Amino acid sequence: MKRRDFLQTTSTGIAASIGYGLLKPAAGAFAQSAAAPMRLGVIGPGSRGQELIRQFMRVPGVDITAVCDIYEPRFAQTEQLLGHTVAHHHDYRELIDRKDIDAIVIATPPKFHGKYVSAALRSGRPVYGEKVMGFSVQDSRDIVAAARESKQHYQVGHEYRYAPWFIEAIRRVHAGEIGKVTHVYGYWHRNNDWRRPVPNPKDERLINWRLYKESSMGLLAELGSHMVDTANWVFGSMPESVFASGSIVEFHDGRETDDNVQAIYSYSEGRRFIFSALANNAILGNQLWIYGDKGSVQLTIEDAIFFYEKDSSAHLAAKSPVVEKGMTTGASYSTKNEMPYRGEGEKVKVDNYEDATLTACRSFITDVRANKRPFADELVGYGAAVAITLGYQAKEEERLIRFGDNAKV
């Protein structure tokens, strides 16, 4: 499928967004020599924004030139991180208006992404924008339109797209190593209340924006967006429908967003992505499984491990007697093939296991310099963001939502 087809007519074809080659040079595109520092402006240098600054500072030839935030303590925190003073602004338009900035990083809460990312792209600068790309389908459409019309480079903060062990594992899955892939299961289970300390109670909704519906789609968006992006990557398309549920089961502390969420996304041919987030039990941690009829892959933030299906022929002999634990029983009662696999599996070997965010930041700089389309481009961001927006709507309205026209750009 061609990129144009995806953009104009359909909700499928995420895989086809990979590797379109060079962006058409645009007026205002980064035009300095590779030796000149790339000057970044950062909007929203909070927790994630500061992490991005930390990683961008590890990339040679990058200068953090200005930051913008509405919460005053962020400026001192950023300066401490940088080890020097930095120009700062309270309004995103002032930062975007600066003439001494080559690229813009946006890490505000999601409800500002649509407006700020679109304005930054339309100012003629490449953008690294945090996930989830948009807070509504329209936000995400606006960003795709701004990227297309400005011909600027947009990279979304789905950093696992850059993790070598994800890339290699999914390459092997696409090559057929675990057979026909029908399911992806994503677990992101933690044991903490997700609440941040608030020095001044008037800042509760600014600091704990994740807990309020006016500013957050909750766990589904904050954690599930990475995982639905991986499912889109594995299946090569966006989902076709979703239903989801959630509740507040543990943290009755005035929050509005759920502390546990479950979602089932259907893709073509009956394939499914199932997502679960818990906030009060961490035994499963953060892990994503790709299941095929010949094997499985476990993907984590540190590695990827392949497991292969055992011979299941014993299932065929359901009527023959089986002796187990000193008793004669039927094969259908045998536990032999039902115990979880506890072997070590085969770890994917790649040269680089560095932090995926560092790899993503470095790729942003090198791709902008080379005028090369990013792997995690606006279509990747769109696919995940729309899946999350519609999943959240399905959960809120307690009904199944079909993507169809809802997902068209």
Ligand X SMILES: NC(=O)c1ccc[n+]([C@@H]2O[C@H](COP(=O)([O-])OP(=O)(O)OC[C@H]3O[C@@H](n4cnc5c(N)ncnc54)[C@H](O)[C@@H]3O)[C@@H](O)[C@H]2O)c1
Which stretches of the chain bind ligand X, using CB under 6 A?
A: 43-44, 46-49, 68-71, 74, 92, 107-110, 112, 130-131, 157, 159, 206, 209, 222
* Closest separation in Å from C-beta 74 to ligand X: 5
CB nearer to ligand X: give 178 or 386.
386
CB nearer to ligand X: give 116 or 291.
116
* Closest separation in Å from C-beta 329 to ligand X: 49
* Closest separation in Å from C-beta 260 to ligand X: 18
* Closest separation in Å from C-beta 287 to ligand X: 16
* Closest separation in Å from C-beta 267 to ligand X: 23
CB nearer to ligand X: give 12 or 225.
225
* Closest separation in Å from C-beta 4 to ligand X: 29
Q: How far apart are the first and last CA of the chain?
A: 15
CB count within 10 Å of CB 32 equals: 12
CB nearer to ligand X: give 14 or 119.
119
Alpha-carbon distance 383 to 380, whole Å? 5
Alpha-carbon distance 221 to 320, whole Å? 49
CB nearer to ligand X: give 139 or 240.
139
According to DSSP, the residues that pair with 156 across neighbouring strands are: 129
Query: In the complex, which residue's CB is closest to ligand X?
Result: 46
Alpha-carbon distance 153 to 351, whole Å? 27
Tell me which residue has tokens 């007697």.
Answer: 321
Residue 188 near residue 286 (C-beta atoms within 8 A): yes
Q: Which residues contact 43 (CB under 8 A, 6 or more apart)?
A: 49, 67, 68, 69, 92, 95, 104, 105, 106, 107, 108, 116, 120
Structure tokens at 37: 């520092």
Q: What is the dihedral of CA 290, 165, 383, 182, to 10 degrees?
A: -10
CB nearer to ligand X: give 360 or 368.
360
Structure tokens at 111: 């409800």
